[in-house]
């Protein structure tokens, strides 16, 4: 069954405009900072120059994807990634590739780590201003998911007894195969004011829901500019 979300979230254009304001605060690799074509070029260079070491089994260096990539480069900028690979790779001739090739390899690494591509190619001058989010770093301005109880206070909609926010790369509502796990999450202690929510379908108030959106903080509260909401099974106590 399709989840009704249209009445909960403002128009897509409004959400995109708000997201643009959020992004302006701090640019991250979640925003699509390279192109698919650039990553493809970088993949070819990586295949010819790097996979002898960075392929398991049999490689002498770690695979540069998944948790290891985040642990190594989380909360760093792409300049750090660029400098690291330029000064250490290829193993027998560090620094022997062009800067353009090294930037393309950075784009390839972003792709294999599931960061989205975008409309513009990544350039050398862009690297210092783009951050790789850490798993446990500051989540402000990041796309996150929380689970909590939906309620209305005056004109404002909030999630109370909500879980701690976790980073997500999918702005769409949680899928059916995720819903049971989310519903089983223990109640949390957080409260989030929901932005771009103007009304709830009948039965959603005081219902446990999974919300996704961009996290921001003020002096008095935490807010989520909502990209999607999904109702779960559990009803919340008043």
- Model pLDDT for residues 112-143, shown as the tens digit of each residue: 888 889 999 999 999 999 998 875 556 777 77
pLDDT digits (tens, 9 = 90+) for 48-78: 887 666 654 444 345 577 777 877 788 889 9
| Whole-angstrom distance, CA of residue 104 vs CA of residue 162 | 40
**C-beta separation of 171 from 212 below 8 A:** yes
Domain shared by 201 and 222, yes or no: yes
If asked whether residues 123 and 145 sit together in one domain, one would say: no
Q: Could you tell me the CA-to-CA distances from 4 to 12, 18, 184, 201 in Å, in that order? A: 15, 22, 22, 8
Q: What's the rounded Cα separation, in Å, for the pair 188 and 161? A: 5
Total domains present in the chain: 2
Q: What percent of the chain has pLDDT over 70?
A: 81
Domain C-terminal end among 69, 97, 129: 129
Query: What range does the domain containing 175 cover?
Result: 12-26+141-235
Per-residue pLDDT of 98-111, as tens digits, reads: 999 999 999 999 99
Domain co-membership, 109 together with 195: no
- Give which of 188, 193, 186, 198 is closest to 220, Cα–Cα: 193
CATH number at 220 reads: 2.40.50
Whether residue 196 contacts residue 9, with contact meaning beta carbons closer than 8 Å, is answered with: yes
Q: In which residue are the tokens 């779960």 written?
A: 232
What predicted TM-score, i.e. pTM, was given to this entire model?
A: 0.54
Which of the listed residues 129, 149, 167 is the one where a domain comes to its end?
129
Give the model confidence (pLDDT) of 220-238 as tens digits.
999 999 989 999 999 997 6
**Domain termination residue (choose one: 129, 156, 175):** 129
């Amino acid at each position: 069954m399709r989840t009704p979300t249209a009445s909960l979230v403002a128009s897509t254009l409004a959400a995109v405009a708000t997201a643009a304001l959020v992004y302006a605060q701090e640019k991250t690799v979640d925003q699509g900072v390279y192109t698919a074509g650039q990553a493809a070029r970088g993949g070819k260079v990586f295949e010819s120059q790097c996979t002898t070491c960075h392929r398991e089994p049999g490689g002498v260096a770690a695979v540069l994807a998944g948790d290891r990539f985040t642990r190594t480069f989380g909360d760093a900028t792409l300049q750090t990634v660029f400098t690291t690979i330029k000064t250490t790779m290829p193993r027998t001739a560090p620094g022997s590739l062009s800067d353009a090739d090294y930037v393309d390899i950075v784009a390839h690494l972003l792709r294999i780590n599931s960061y989205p591509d975008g409309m513009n190619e990544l350039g050398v001058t862009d690297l210092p201003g783009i951050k790789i989010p850490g798993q446990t770093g500051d989540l402000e301005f990041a796309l996150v998911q929380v689970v909590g109880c939906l309620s209305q206070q005056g004109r404002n909609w909030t999630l109370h007894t909500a879980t701690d926010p976790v980073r997500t790369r999918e702005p769409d509502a949680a899928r059916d195969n995720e819903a049971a796990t989310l519903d089983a999450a223990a109640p949390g202690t957080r409260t989030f004011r929901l932005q771009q929510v103007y009304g709830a379908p009948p039965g959603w108030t005081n219902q446990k829901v999974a919300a996704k959106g961009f996290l921001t903080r003020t002096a008095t509260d935490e807010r989520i500019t909502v990209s999607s909401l999904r109702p779960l099974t559990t009803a919340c106590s008043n």
